[in-house]
Structure 1
């Protein structure tokens, strides 16, 4: 009944719809919290995510396709994101000597410095969901994994059905 009041609707078709709507709604709130947090650091969530990936790969440069594959938001425009990070001096971009169509992206010293500053502030980001216990957080992670596995299964079924009907 709480969710119905929050959404301003009388009922849901079933508990699966209620759960998915709750996930979407909560995701939006969490995303807004993340964006506000990173805005304080003059950065977006996607920019920090890219820097974090680059820092984990340092000193090995990566391509935009590698970056896109590892990003949390698969819809991010990695090329535009890298251009913005480069304009801020947070990454260096050079042409790949083996394949001139590709670029090598490397986090700069300034990018590493900014990541270190943000790292010190990350407990404030964690506070967004500290309304649940650590044990509940573990359970939530397990449940969300099951949801992602279910989504993959349904996506595979839909793709197979689309190919048969084509």
Structure 2
């Protein structure tokens, strides 16, 4: 379905506006489905992102700066996210023994278990949205989105 039909617009839209609307709309559809996957585990998308970042540390702690720079949503309140994950026993937070100003965060066994349960569900989610595109189209879409997103970077 074309974006004009979705938003019920009778006005001709510039391609640049249609692209923006399509990206926003696609993001909302994808996020809504993704949140349905996370809801039974009482996780937000940002909390899930933190858990994945910590799992990627392979048993090594991450400080708040490392977590923040790897977040997809750069404006996330990392401290608040860690606090919520602490309450769920999905992470631990300790003061670095070498540098007392640094906080180290580790994923717990419970956090790893939840990710292991979610992994196949998330992969199914990704495949669901990719099913109408072949491998070359997916590659092209990634290239185009990266090009579109990096327009203002010098």
TM-score, normalisation: structure 2: 0.89
Unaligned runs of 5+ in 1: 154-166
Distance 2:63 2:12 in 1: 44
**Comparing both structures, which one devotes a greater share of its residues to helix?**
1
2:89 aligns to what SS in structure 1? Answer: coil
Tell me whether 107-116 or 131-140 shows the greater mean CA deviation: 131-140
Distance 1:37 1:90 in 2: 17
Q: Let me know the Cα RMSD of the aligned residues.
A: 1.8
- The equivalent of 1:160 in structure 2 is none
- The equivalent of 1:78 in structure 2 is 78
TM-score, normalisation: structure 1: 0.83
Q: Answer yes or no: is 1:38 the counterpart of 2:17.
A: no
Distance 1:32 1:128 in 2: 13
Distance 1:151 1:24 in 2: 18
- The equivalent of 2:28 in structure 1 is 28
Unaligned runs of 5+ in 2: none
Q: 1:63 offset after TM fit, Å?
A: 0.9
Return structure 1 stretches of 4+ with deviation > 3 angstroms: none
Say which one has the larger Rg. 1
Matched residue count = 153
- Which fold has the larger relative contact order, with Cα–Cα distance below 8 Å and residues 6 or more apart in sequence? 2
